[in-house]
Amino acid sequence: MTDLFSAAHARALDAHDPLCGLRDEFLIPKHAGHDQAYFCGNSLGLQPRGARAHVEEVLQKWAMEAVEGHFTGQAQWMPYHELVREPLARVVGAQPAEVVAMNTLTVNLHLMMVSFYRPTRERPAILIEAGAFPSDRHAVASQLSFHGFDPDRDLIELEADQATGTISMAAIERAIAQHGHRLALVLWPGVQYRTGQAFDLKEIARLAHAQGAMCGFDLAHAVGNVELSLHDSDADFAVWCHYKYMNSGPGAVAGCFVHGRHANTNAPRFAGWWGHDVNTRFRMGPQFMPTPGADGWQLSNPPILGLAPLRASLDLFDRVGIKALRERSQRLTGYLEQLIDARLQDVLQIVTPRERELRGCQLSLRVSGGRERGRALFEHLAENGVLGDWREPDVIRISPAPLYNSHNDVLRFAQAVENWRHG
Ligand SMILES: Cc1ncc(COP(=O)(O)O)c(C=O)c1O
């Protein structure tokens, strides 16, 4: 019988994996002179080797051409954000005019809610998941207050109904049906940051729309991680960041999707000159005329240095395709799950759903014995060059990223847990 825990087995899995070589496209941090087993792509993805050249190209252009850089040569700054539009649309399954790279996630969430959260006295409520990422909760609560509503009454937070802390589709359906007549907006994660649970976005949008509510998605943990079909999902809007699985650097410029049916909406928006009709922007007129599509929500001219690494990242996504990447991701996370099930169940409880379509690459692992024990294991892992991340009170998140993690990395995690238990 195959010994799942043998180094030879992990090496063989890597050797037969056609995408294992992608790892060479990344700079892997070192621990004691060797590659770290880095599982924090859910927080900050690693640097693609190509990123530096794109950043240096901008610095060089600035040095040589200064203001002319907006209009001359390759990768002109004026239409720079257009360089990422099509590859980004491929990653999220959207039409090119439906996506734009701009701002940061929470800023985009507010901009989207200005247009697509239009509460009335009869229909003021927003539905989110309980335990949502704090920034999302702050954003929706502050929007409710801004419109004169009371978050204590009109922010509906759906509690988990599964023993592991995840939320069933039946519970979502019940909540949308129960509160439907009062719901102005359903804001849902593509992948929940704490549990790693992935959701059927198309179904959630269908349920929200059937009740007359708008539907938006926070895809921070989904983009570059699971296959998305944003256009077909029929969401009204979506927002995400590019510093996690999109590997575009700390605080990278974020992404935003506005469904094509809203391309020419008259809904109110907070406007800025970069969202003005691209054909007349430089006439510098006083009246705002939005450019059609997602571009019409831009405010400022884009931070070119911030956008540059995204180009390197998107080159890699285009080279592999999200479908093949997702298949590799399922193999890697499946191996992690097998190793835990085989020998580590007394230490780690898998919180993330077991069904492949209900998760991305991340497994959230509850450490038995509580916080102190969990912290001790987490620190032992870090001392041994295995970097996951910690979520209070007792969860370690391990996210094998299919662009750069290997089966050998996954084995190193499992071995380190075993050694700690025996230690
Ligand atoms: C699910 C989710 N939403 C929102 C945010 C906040 O993102 P930002 O700081 O880019 O606005 C994060 C950050 O990690 C996140 O994970």
| DSSP assignment of 190-241 | SB-TTT-BB--HHHHHHHHHHTT-EEEEE-TTTTTTS---HHHHT-SEEEE-
Amino acid residing at 205: A
Confidence bin at 266 (pLDDT 50/70/90): very high
Determine which helix (DSSP H) or strand (DSSP E) holds 330, and give its type and residue range. Answer: helix 322-339
345 within 8 A of 414, measured Cβ to Cβ: no
Distance 134 CA to ligand 1 centre (A): 8
Amino acid residing at 119: P
With a pLDDT cut of 90, the percent of the chain lying above it is: 97
pLDDT at 74: 87
Phi, psi values for residue 240, rounded to 5°: -160, 170
Return mean pLDDT, the chain: 97
> pLDDT (tens digit, 9 = 90+) per residue, 52-104?
999 999 999 999 999 999 999 889 999 999 999 999 999 999 999 999 999 99
Amino acid residing at 292: P
Q: Length of the chain in residues, anyone?
A: 423
Indicate if the pLDDT at residue 1 is higher than 90: no
Indicate if the pLDDT at residue 412 is higher than 80: yes
Q: Which residue has the higher pLDDT, 218 or 72?
A: 218
Distance 135 CA to ligand 1 centre (A): 6
Tokens for 269, please give them: 């928006």
Nearest to 54 by CA among 304, 403, 320, 316: 304
Q: Is 220 in the pocket of ligand 1 (CB under 6 A)?
A: yes
Q: Is 104 in the pocket of ligand 1 (CB under 6 A)?
A: yes
pLDDT at 423: 75
pLDDT at 73: 86
Q: Is 135 in the pocket of ligand 1 (CB under 6 A)?
A: yes
> What is the number of the ligand 1 atom nearest to the C-alpha of 241?
10
pLDDT at 2: 82
Distance 220 CA to ligand 1 centre (A): 6
Q: Which residue has the tokens 């080797």?
A: 49
Nearest to 137 by CA among 150, 146, 127: 127
Beta strand residue intervals within 224-289, DSSP E: 237-240, 255-258
Q: Which of 109, 112, 135, 225 to mutate to test the pocket of ligand 1 (most atoms within 8 A of CB)?
A: 135
pTM: 0.97
